[in-house]
Amino acid sequence: MQKSSLPERAPELIEKLRALPAEPGVYLFKDARGKVIYVGKAKALADRVRTYFGAGAELAPKTQALMARVQDFDYMVTPTEVEALVLECNLIKEYRPRYNIRLRDDKKFPYVRITADPFPRVFPTRTLVHDGSEYFGPYSDVGAMRRTLSLLQRVLPTRPCTPESLDGIDRPCLYYDIKMCGAPCVGLQSRGEYLEVVDGVRLFLRGRTDELVSRLRQRMQEHSERLEFERAARVRDQIQAIERVTDRLRSVVGEGVDRDAVAMRRDGPNACGVVLKIRGARLLASETFYFSDRDESDTEVFSAFFEQYYNSTTSLPEEILASEEPEDPELLERWLSENRGGRVRLVRPQKGDKHTLVALALKNATLKLDEWLIAHGAADKRVPDEVVQLGQVLGMRALPRHVECFDISNFQGAQPVASLVHFEAGQPSKGLYRHFRIRNITAPNDFAMMEHVVERHFRAVQQEGRPLPELVMVDGGKGQLGAAERALERLGLAGSTTLIGLAKRNEEIYRSGHPEPLVLPRTSPALKLVQRVRNEAHRFAIGYHRRLRGAELVHSALDDIPGVGRKTRLALLRHFGSVQGVSRATAAQLAAVPGVGRVTAERILAVLSHPALRPGQAGPEGAELDPPAGEFEGEIELAEEVDVDAGVPTATGSGAEGSRPASTDTSSET
Ligand code: SF4
């Protein structure tokens, strides 16, 4: 986090900040060209806006970028917080500010409009005219909306002609002949009858099909009693057509409460929100929306989606079931209840039928997001099933596309080092691997080392403004997990990412905030993925540790040889893989290594051939270079360590640099 600086701001802006009222309202940040780049709402404008400019304000990377461009701001006071919320949504829609989270294509979502004419018309539109017309939507699936309107035109025909007034029309048009209009223009259908049809359309669009069918049955009965058999038969056909459609709607819950189930699935910067509309115990529609934001938290992204959707929709249910808790749920409940004219409950169910509905919405969001990623050329970024499963078993809101894992390696407390490996979409991203040398903790204390390294890494991530991985792993159980938690807390990152520890003994997964470990079946793809990540971190840490020790031993054996400096020492190690390899080489082979001439090669051989210095034969160095079984908890070839770490061809000349990316060694001594 960086601090913003008020003193650097223009004096007029400082004056404006001082004059801000402590009332609810909306603020608009503008760039140098006066363009609105961010809109926010506040319970108390003065407090909220000053937090952005206040000296010493801790700002997230995205907010830092925003504030670097802000040159001016405006604000509007509103009577209540609810009105501030509505105004914020409308201004975001109007200005589409760069730094607000926005639904993709939000300008394009169509609605169904029922005009306020004496003989109302029903048609799709993307433009909302506030002249008393009613709107239904938004519909994310244009095709489904058009099919619904086409069905309605056959079953409950309203006039397709466009004049607002039917005065002056003296004969019906073709639509009457093909039975797609009752010709109210010439009185063949009374205004009352016509408005009854429009009412039916309203009920259908609201999902109140049971009520619609019941009304039509009554109408059919009346026609029969009046011996109007042809009209009764027409109404019967309408009922059958509506029932056919209604039967296709899936019955999801036994009660007749109108509900929405709202869920969001996120994969890196992309997110998909799904709203399942349950009306009269049936699943009426599923609306899907896409949006993107890399830096905001899941709660912020979900809240933005929730607010923007419910600011656009005209159909509010009694209950909204949500997969996440949006920011300020009480304010949202107040706002929604005012709009509906009756109580709207916002619930985050944990079990039962309601939870099943949210899980269904979440599943749809996952599938839709996958489809979207493929359709938008992001197939290569699509995460494999094991990653999706891991996100599910850990109850994560965002898919663990990016996973980072820490491991500590030391030999009886000596020369401790740590590794960090980075996996993206289940595959190692070796360019993002990191090494850490730990010099300020001398006693063998895994927890303190873990805390130190986690803090060190994520402090650098914050300073560089890089995004956090969705999942952070530590090798170890409760103790290591607690250490990592403390480090993230100190950085103000607690809750910003999911944190787990994988304990080796029983492969139990310890989760931050859960007292009991999670034990997955041995065959679980999710478990196999975390094991693979942990093993890679382990391998990388051990490799670094061994190399350091190897380098140290080479140094001890070679540092007195004139012409053999640090660079030459490392070049030899990389080329021959070990001190033993160096000692087995011929003078010509040694001389072929860059930086080693014939004279130096002979000197090296002379030194290494001395019984007291020969590796593996005498002295502590030899013993150290061939560690006994069990000293390290994994097997590794030194050649591979050199390859992975330094990104140079191995001693075998396999050209591994080209076959996989070289990592960046950021090791430093502390
Ligand atoms: S029949 Fe009359 S009301 Fe119906 S579409 Fe034609 S002109 Fe319009």
Q: What is the pLDDT of residue 257?
A: 78
Instruction: Write down the pTM of the prediction.
Output: 0.52
632 inside domain: yes
Looking at the CA of residue 119, tell me the nearest atom of ligand 1: 3
Are the beta carbons of 511 and 518 closer than 8 angstroms? yes
212 inside domain: no
**What's CA 567's distance to the chain center, in Å?**
44
Q: Could you tell me the CATH number of the domain that includes residue 33? A: 3.40.1440.10
Distance (Å) from CA 161 to ligand 1 centroid: 6
Distance (Å) from CA 250 to ligand 1 centroid: 36
**What's CA 535's distance to the chain center, in Å?**
26
Distance CA 302, CA 299 (A): 5
208 inside domain: no
What sign does the dihedral 297-298-301-302 (CA atoms) show? negative
Q: 406 and 527 in one domain?
A: yes
The structure tokens listed for 189 are 């259908």
- Per-residue pLDDT of 360-397, as tens digits, reads 888 888 878 877 776 665 555 566 778 888 988 888 87
CA within 13 Å, CB half, 19: 10
Q: What is the pLDDT of residue 34?
A: 86
Q: 411 and 315 in one domain?
A: no
Q: Mutate which of 117, 156, 175 to test ligand 1's pocket (most atoms within 8 Å of Cβ)?
A: 175
Residue type, 601: A
Distance (Å) from CA 181 to ligand 1 centroid: 6
- The DSSP code for 379 is G
Among candidate residues 200, 115, 108, 188, the one with its CA nearest the CA of residue 153: 200
Distance CA 611, CA 103 (A): 74
Q: 497 and 576 in one domain?
A: no
Looking at the CA of residue 184, tell me the nearest atom of ligand 1: 3
Domain that holds residue 517: 390-539
197 CB near ligand 1 (under 6 Å): no
Name the domain count of the chain.
4
- The DSSP code for 398 is B
- Per-residue pLDDT of 559-593, as tens digits, reads 656 677 777 877 887 777 666 778 788 888 888 88
Q: 399 and 502 in one domain?
A: yes
Distance CA 572, CA 570 (A): 5
Q: For helices 525-558 and 566-576, give the axis angle rounded to 10 degrees.
A: 130
Q: Mutate which of 161, 194, 195 to test ligand 1's pocket (most atoms within 8 Å of Cβ)?
A: 161
Distance (Å) from CA 171 to ligand 1 centroid: 8
Distance (Å) from CA 185 to ligand 1 centroid: 6
354 inside domain: yes
Looking at the CA of residue 160, tell me the nearest atom of ligand 1: 5
What sign does the dihedral 432-437-440-444 (CA atoms) show? positive
Distance (Å) from CA 157 to ligand 1 centroid: 11
Looking at the CA of residue 172, tell me the nearest atom of ligand 1: 1
Among candidate residues 539, 625, 613, the one with its CA nearest the CA of residue 576: 625
Q: 524 and 628 in one domain?
A: no
Q: What is the pLDDT of residue 165?
A: 79
Q: What is the pLDDT of residue 291?
A: 80
Looking at the CA of residue 181, tell me the nearest atom of ligand 1: 4
Contacts of 525 (CB under 8 A, 6+ apart): 385, 386, 389, 390
Distance CA 499, CA 495 (A): 8
The structure tokens listed for 651 are 């001693």
User: Which positions of the chain have pLDDT values less than 70?
Assistant: 1-10, 54-62, 104-108, 246-256, 281, 293-295, 374-383, 411-415, 442-443, 547-562, 577-579, 610-670
Q: Could you tell me the CATH number of the domain that includes residue 349? A: 3.30.420.10
Q: 647 and 550 in one domain?
A: yes
Which residues are bridge partners to 263 per DSSP?
274
Distance CA 586, CA 602 (A): 9
184 CB near ligand 1 (under 6 Å): yes
The structure tokens listed for 398 are 């965002």
Task: Give the chain's mean pLDDT.
Answer: 77
Distance (Å) from CA 163 to ligand 1 centroid: 9
Which helix H or strand E contains 161, and what residues bound it?
none
159 CB near ligand 1 (under 6 Å): yes
172 CB near ligand 1 (under 6 Å): yes
184 inside domain: no
423 inside domain: yes
Q: Could you tell me the CATH number of the domain that includes residue 654? A: 1.10.150.20
194 CB near ligand 1 (under 6 Å): no
Distance (Å) from CA 175 to ligand 1 centroid: 6
285 CB near ligand 1 (under 6 Å): no
401 CB near ligand 1 (under 6 Å): no
Q: What is the pLDDT of residue 8?
A: 57
CA within 13 Å, CB half, 73: 31
Q: 562 and 533 in one domain?
A: no
Domain end point (choices 350, 375, 400): 375
Q: 82 and 63 in one domain?
A: yes
Residue whose tokens read 């998909």 = 272
Could you tell me the maximum CA-CA distance found in the chain, to the nearest angstrom? 121
Are the beta carbons of 152 and 122 closer than 8 angstroms? yes
Which residues are bridge partners to 421 per DSSP?
405
247 inside domain: no
Distance (Å) from CA 237 to ligand 1 centroid: 22
